[in-house]
Structure 1
């Protein structure tokens, strides 16, 4: 796939994911939550230019750092997401303001990594960013499914599970499903 197609795919996935996650929506623990991250990872790993042939070490270090950023950002996003159980037993989720800050921080880290790579003269392909996004989405989805399943098995699974810096347990209006 060309770099432009990869970039458009990344932008489309990010927009869809962010818009969906800042709306209250039910968590389906039985669905294939790993499918989108797996597809993104396969598409990214099929690209031969994921590492710069002329700067292998620097390129591998930047890729490793990108994957660590994706791992940390996915975990932080999952733990800053509010998750609760409604009286009908359905587990709901909604990203918080802290989740938005996680996205902003991750974006700034990625811009910094790109600038560092450019300063080192490393050719940076969009497949590294796509692989980082796959890691981010996989970690976030995995943690959210695990949190949702723990609410199903908790004896008092009825109230909202608090997210980081969530001052009050509020019921969020359900939006169109």
Structure 2
């Protein structure tokens, strides 16, 4: 039953995160951006079935690969997210089409890892997927906070900071939280 609960938790977190990230949102560098990923990691690590008892080496390699995929997906997602500063000094972020492609590629690679594990007979628990998701979210949030903190006023632009995607048309709307 814990596997079903973990799977539902993973799906809920992914849906909420994806929906929220494709809306323009302010980046609050002072908040605890690391809390949700840490909670997911703790929930994943408390499960005893994160490694297959009969195939420890293979399952450890699959888990390490899952974590590397999570690291790469989180970094790519953060770097494809548009970040800008409004005239009032608030830093905003919004995922782009490239961010969606990163998500689809990350999901495809994870499905491939699950298929590979099934092919070689390794029992994979949902906790490995949850740990990979935690790494993805932690890396993305960390890079976005770092990018937001690195934006500083530029005198030649009238006080506004340069941002990734400045040459892009601004078709974003602010949404209240």
Normalising by structure 1, we get a TM-score of 0.93
| CA–CA distance in structure 2, aligned partners of residues 104 and 167 of structure 1 | 26
Q: What per-residue deviation string (whole Å, max 9, x for no partner) do you get for residues 66-120 of structure 1?
A: 0000000000000000000011111000000000000000010001000000000
Contact 1:69 1:132 in 2 (8 A): yes
Aligned to 1:176, what secondary structure does the other structure show?
coil
| CA–CA distance in structure 1, aligned partners of residues 46 and 153 of structure 2 | 42
Could you tell me how far 1:175 is from its partner in structure 2? 2.1
Superposed CA RMSD in Å reads 1.6
Aligned to 1:83, what secondary structure does the other structure show?
strand
Q: What per-residue deviation string (whole Å, max 9, x for no partner) do you get for residues 23-57 of structure 1?
A: 00100000000000000011111111000000001
- When structure 1 is superposed on structure 2, of 153-162 and 90-99 the one drifting more is 153-162
| CA–CA distance in structure 1, aligned partners of residues 112 and 40 of structure 2 | 23
Total equivalences in the alignment? 174
| CA–CA distance in structure 1, aligned partners of residues 47 and 20 of structure 2 | 28
* Residue of structure 2 equivalent to 1:172: 172
Change (3 A) 1:13 1:160: farther
Stretches of structure 2 lacking an aligned partner (at least 5 in a row):
none
Stretches of structure 1 lacking an aligned partner (at least 5 in a row):
none
Could you tell me how far 1:162 is from its partner in structure 2? 1.8
- Counterparts of 1:85-124 in structure 2 under 5 Å? 85-124=85-124
Aligned to 1:62, what secondary structure does the other structure show?
helix
* Residue of structure 2 equivalent to 1:78: 78
Could you tell me how far 1:167 is from its partner in structure 2? 5.6
Aligned to 2:112, what secondary structure does the other structure show?
helix
Contact 2:74 2:139 in 1 (8 A): yes
